[in-house]
Chain A
């Protein structure tokens, strides 16, 4: 159910960025799953050439992944190329403004500019990036390019930019023993996930961006990266015989880069955790959590990790040296508030449950929705059942929530009708019993679905207002009536409201889906 509204939102985003034809192809792939070119042509009824161009746009912008499958036909193994749409990556387009702000805050405006090009032009080589960056400037000095190269290396090193995945990987068949272990195969269900997994570059190669050896900014990881390039590229080009500068040059010309959404999501998740802790606990706990997440980021291996990577009290005190919240006693109190637990692996090693922080944020978001929709008494009933984390008999509810019986029953049925609560009828010696509960996972799914729907509606309304604006702008200035002028003014006021609402709503979508 979630996927339906999410798919519609993805189609809206593609329509607004690339037009109706590309959106048609994308919609077909999202609806039907992975398809080969011939089937896709049949389904979309588009001419081959047009369809290929649409696919190229989608691949260029990391919205579609191609992959090869082998099938046995009449004793011969036939290889076909299929295309699958990457739903989550398409929806990330909604977050591009957030990604850009994040980079500006963490690095500078030039880095933001580099990322901006990667996001608006899709996958690019470093050379193409530089061409686009300086396209309006007739002469560019080597110094400026060097500065940009250093900035780009920083973005790669911080994992915000990564090498593009393989363009057409061979999908491992279920029966084959490939690089994917059996256990992992069980977890991976869709073609989309399998294709993404098969296309992903090796971890060492993914973030390697060699820079010229005389560059002072060259760091340890870059040196390591240089080595991995040597290994990775050896088969293709025999770079063993090349000098370092030629490797760098080759890398800048041939290697395609793209934004690494995983890292952005991880950073936004950390930010959401800190933002949630600040009002719920206090600023001290938030500062300590921020320091912990910064310290342990490099060690964090999994997306959506349940716990932070392990850390020692000492490392946090060191990191907060000079801060008013960095005193040992303060750190100890903050860790207590944050519910830090010992990892058990080594003595004095702690970890924080990020899942619990996210769950608390999700709960307060759900309560806030119920409060607005059903009022304080409806919210009290909802919290009573959510806190109980089990079932409560109908007759007990008015008393426990301190609400008039009739009103309580009315609210219960209203909440059930809208799928916020579930009711079970049980026969007993005293007659029928009605047991009520909050089913957290199904409710989250329902809320997420509604949020995707709302976001899709906002995007459609924004597109509608923009089209109207364009139509009005096409009119000649002297022909425009007063009424039309007022309309243009209204649209100009309305668009920022819609855009801001989309970004705010997306915070909640990320909270329920990506975090």
Chain B
């Protein structure tokens, strides 16, 4: 197939083709075109065009390969349309962390484990170095951006696996300029289980209905029974 004038092989040229459309179809096409790479929700278009006409137009435009239906990761049930030649924005597609409609938990876990291993090995390290190590590891098929590495690192901080510290330029921070943010493993990574949640009441879903001589009471509690019968 010869490349289209838009430069992308196999994709239709938008402008002139829309001129060949009927009035209503053209109106729908223009609305979708205007929404850019964020796309437009069908319910939004219904405000301006009657539903039966809109459905016909969408069917026609889809069959002519002028528009496409894209998955919105935040609202998977919504039908969002955009021009066939556009790439959906991260707001719609979810970015690197989504493969199709699915959130790629596995990829995130692998990246987190890799980052944690790297920080443990290096003792103290700056963000750029972590990004380099991810790039060379080829875990990600696409180019990894620094903000995505930061997201992984921040998530490890929230897991209390690592901590962010400012370099003082000496001792363990010798290779890092003074005042630069760097990351290292936390001394106390994992929490001691709280005493409160090791008794049944700590995780009890009906604690608010539990009274000394009520229907739910510690004397007759089934959770207690199971806990004490170990």
Answer yes or no: are A and B bound together in one complex: yes
Q: Are B191 and A368 in contact (CB under 8 A)?
A: yes
Q: How far is the CA of A238 from the CA of B187 in the complex (A)?
A: 64
| Contact of A282 with B by CB under 8 A | yes
Chain A interface (Cβ < 8 Å from any Cβ of B): 8, 279-282, 364-365, 367-369, 371-373, 376, 380, 383-384, 387, 395, 399-402, 404-407, 447, 450-451, 453-454, 456-458, 460-461, 464, 490, 494, 497-498, 501, 504-505, 507-508
User: Which residue of A395, A464, A490, A505 contacts B195 across the interface (Cβ within 8 Å)?
Assistant: A505
For B210, give the chain A residue with the smallest CB separation: A457
Specify the chain B residue showing the minimal Cβ separation from A460. B218
Complex partner residue of A454 from B108, B152, B154, B196, CB under 8 angstroms: B196
Check if A450 sits within 8 Å of B158, measured CB to CB: no
Q: Contact: B199 with A458, CB < 8 Å? A: yes
* Least Cβ–Cβ distance between A50 and chain B, in angstroms: 23
Residue ID in chain B nearest A386 by CB atoms: B158
Q: Does B188 contact A (CB under 8 A)?
A: yes
- What are 10 A-B residue pairs whose CB atoms fall within 8 Å in the complex? A365-B196, A369-B196, A380-B158, A383-B160, A402-B108, A450-B201, A454-B202, A456-B212, A457-B210, A460-B217
Give which listed residue, A369, A402, A406, contacts B202 with CB less than 8 A: A369
* A364 contacts B97, C-beta separation under 8 Å: no
Which residue of the partner chain, among B155, B212, B224, contacts A401 with CB atoms under 8 Å?
B155
For B154, what are the chain A residues with a Cβ–Cβ distance below 8 Å? 400, 402
Nearest opposing residue in chain B for A376, CB measure: B159
Distance from B109 Cβ to chain A, minimum over Cβ atoms (Å): 10
Tell me, yes or no, whether B192 is within 8 Å of chain A by CB: yes
Residue-by-residue, is B66-106 near A (CB-CB < 8 Å gives 1, otherwise 0)?
A: 00000001101000000000000000001001000001010
Report if B193 contacts A (CB, 8 A).
yes
Give the residues in chain A near B108, CB-CB below 8 Å: 402
Contact of B203 (CB < 8 Å), options: A372, A401, A456 = A372
Given contacts A281-B187, A402-B151, A402-B152, contact A372 B224 (CB under 8 A): no
- Tell whether, in the assembled complex, residue B97 and residue A402 are in contact, meaning their CB atoms are under 8 Å apart: yes
Q: Are B187 and A280 neighbours in the complex by a CB distance under 8 Å?
A: yes
Q: Which of these, A364, A447, A464, contacts B218 with CB under 8 Å?
A: A464
How far is the CB of B114 from the nearest CB of chain A, in Å? 14
A506, closest chain B residue (CB): B195
Complex: A79 Cα to B175 Cα, angstroms = 78
A456 CA to B213 CA in the complex, in Å?
13
Q: Which residue of A lies closest to B147 (CB)?
A: A399
- Of the candidates A8, A372, A458, which one forms a contact with B193 in the assembled complex, judged by CB atoms under 8 Å apart? A372
B interface, size bucket: 35 or more
Please give, as numbers and ranges, the residues of chain A lying within 8 Å of B202 by CB-CB distance.
369, 372-373, 450, 454
Cβ of B158 to closest chain A Cβ, rounded Å: 4
**A442 CA / B74 CA spacing, docked (Å):** 32
Nearest CB in chain A: distance from B187 CB, A: 7
User: B224 to chain A: which residues have CB within 8 Å?
Assistant: 457, 461
A372 near B155: Cβ-Cβ < 8 Å? no
State whether A279 touches B188 (Cβ < 8 A).
Answer: yes
B228 interface residue (CB < 8 Å to A): yes
Say how far A269's CB is from chain B's closest CB, in angstroms.
17
Answer whether A8 and B158 are a contact pair too, CB < 8 Å, given A364-B191, A501-B199, A505-B195.
no
With A and B bound together, what is the CA distance between A365 and B202 in angstroms?
12
Nearest-neighbor residue (CB-CB) of A463 within chain B = B219
Q: How far is the CB of B59 from chain A (nearest CB, A)?
A: 29
Cβ–Cβ < 8 Å partners of A376 in chain B: 159
Is there an interface contact between A457 and B195, defined as CB atoms closer than 8 Å? no
Residues of A within 8 A of B2 (CB): none
Q: Which residues of A contact B19 (CB under 8 A)?
A: none
Complex partner residue of B105 from A380, A404, A498, CB under 8 angstroms:
A404
Q: In the complex, are the beta carbons of B195 and A504 less than 8 A apart?
A: yes
Residues of B within 8 Å of A404, CB to CB, are 103, 105
Task: Give Cα distance in the complex from A376 to B155, angstroms.
Answer: 11
Residue of A nearest to B203 (CB): A373
Q: Which residue of B lies closest to A494 (CB)?
A: B228
State whether A464 and B210 are in contact (beta carbons under 8 Å apart), knowing that A380-B159, A454-B202 are contacts in the complex: no
What residues of chain B lie closer than 8 Å to A494, measured between beta carbons? 228
Please measure, in the bound complex, the distance between the C-alpha atom of A507 and the C-alpha atom of B193, giving whole angstroms: 13
Known: A450-B202, A456-B212, A490-B229. 12 other contacts (CB 8 A): A368-B192, A368-B194, A383-B158, A387-B158, A395-B74, A400-B151, A405-B94, A450-B201, A450-B207, A457-B201, A497-B228, A501-B199
